[in-house]
Amino acid sequence: MNRPRILVNIAMTVDGKIDSAARKGAAISSRADKRRVGELRASVDAILIGGRTLLNEDPRLTVKSAELRAERLRKGWPENPAKVGVVTDVGADLVVAPEGQGQALPLRRFLTSGPAQVYLFTTRCTAPEVLAAFETAGATVHVMGQERVDLVAVFRTLHEAGIRSVLVEGGGTLIAELFGLGLVDELTIYIAPKIFGGNSAPTLADGHGFLPNQAPGLKLESVEKFDHEGGILVHYFVEHEE
């Protein structure tokens, strides 16, 4: 396999929403789930997110626990996993500061929380000066695709860089695309006892959807009553066609 192992982890409400219709990154995880996600992050080589999650939320994507980071270092691993963003067009307004204030640092938390290696995979839609700003901030930039990032090429490139496991943390458009390409190996879902509703609220797998005979098959590994809040943790393996 010339790609890393790919695990998707997501927090969703009972009605399958991964954010409210306001799309402002609503809190879904419990404290216990955040701890579990911290452990999951600490176990992988890289964490990957989609463009809208990255640009709207600028997440840190680091391992918060000092103990878990120290454990990674003891194993000879980098202190934090690499961070990977997949973005069609970063948009110059995120990079160019208001006139007279010099160059602003884009996506400050994503780029500077760490230490961590940062990769940006984008398309020709992102302006060269924006790519240069990312490189100046220390990111490794790959232009892969005209109007959509070529995800197969992304994972090949990460594999060539020595990355053997990737945790995908959303959003729904990216996850749907990964399932469609047969690129997901495992799926863990924390289900919070909440209902967000809303036609336009994002779900675990958005995009165009799958015809029933093309829907990815899942094999249930475990279901767990997870915390005092009434959350459930579900773990699936994805069935790949031989």
Ligand X SMILES: NC(=O)c1ccc[n+]([C@@H]2O[C@H](COP(=O)([O-])OP(=O)(O)OC[C@H]3O[C@@H](n4cnc5c(N)ncnc54)[C@H](OP(=O)(O)O)[C@@H]3O)[C@@H](O)[C@H]2O)c1
Kindly state whether residue 202 participates in binding ligand X, applying the rule CB under 6 A.
yes
Q: Which two three-digit tokens encode residue 229? A: 């809040």
Kindly state whether residue 238 participates in binding ligand X, applying the rule CB under 6 A.
no
- Comparing CB distances to ligand X, the nearer of 101 and 163 is 163
Closest among 89, 82, 47, 51 to 202, alpha carbons compared: 51
Q: How many other C-beta atoms can be found within 10 angstroms of the C-beta atom of residue 28?
A: 20
Kindly state whether residue 13 participates in binding ligand X, applying the rule CB under 6 A.
no
CB–CB of 40/167 below 8 Å? yes
Kindly state whether residue 170 participates in binding ligand X, applying the rule CB under 6 A.
yes
Q: Which two three-digit tokens encode residue 212? A: 């029933």
- Comparing CB distances to ligand X, the nearer of 77 and 207 is 207
DSSP string across 74-121: HTT--SS-EEEEEES---GGGTBPSTTS-BPPSSHHHHHSSS--EEEE
Distance in Å, CB of 11 to ligand X, minimum: 4
Chain residue at closest Cβ approach to ligand X: 171
Distance in Å, CB of 140 to ligand X, minimum: 17
Kindly state whether residue 148 participates in binding ligand X, applying the rule CB under 6 A.
yes
Kindly give, in sequence order, each residue whose CB lies less than 8 Å from that of residue 66, ignoring residues fewer than 6 positions away.
none
Kindly state whether residue 58 participates in binding ligand X, applying the rule CB under 6 A.
no
Q: Prior bond to 171 cis, omega within 30? A: yes
- Comparing CB distances to ligand X, the nearer of 9 and 80 is 9
Q: How many other C-beta atoms can be found within 10 angstroms of the C-beta atom of residue 70?
A: 12
Kindly state whether residue 171 participates in binding ligand X, applying the rule CB under 6 A.
yes
Rounded CA separation 242/136 (Å)? 43
Stretch that binds ligand X, among 129-137, 148-156, 211-219, 229-237 (CB under 6 A): 148-156
Kindly state whether residue 174 participates in binding ligand X, applying the rule CB under 6 A.
yes
Interface residue with ligand X among 6, 7, 8, 28 (CB under 6 A) is 28
Q: Which two three-digit tokens encode residue 207? A: 């995009």
- Comparing CB distances to ligand X, the nearer of 137 and 187 is 187
Kindly state whether residue 231 participates in binding ligand X, applying the rule CB under 6 A.
no
Query: Which residues of the chain form contacts with ligand X (CB under 6 A)?
Result: 10-12, 18-19, 23, 25, 28, 49-53, 86-89, 148-149, 151, 169-174, 177, 202, 206
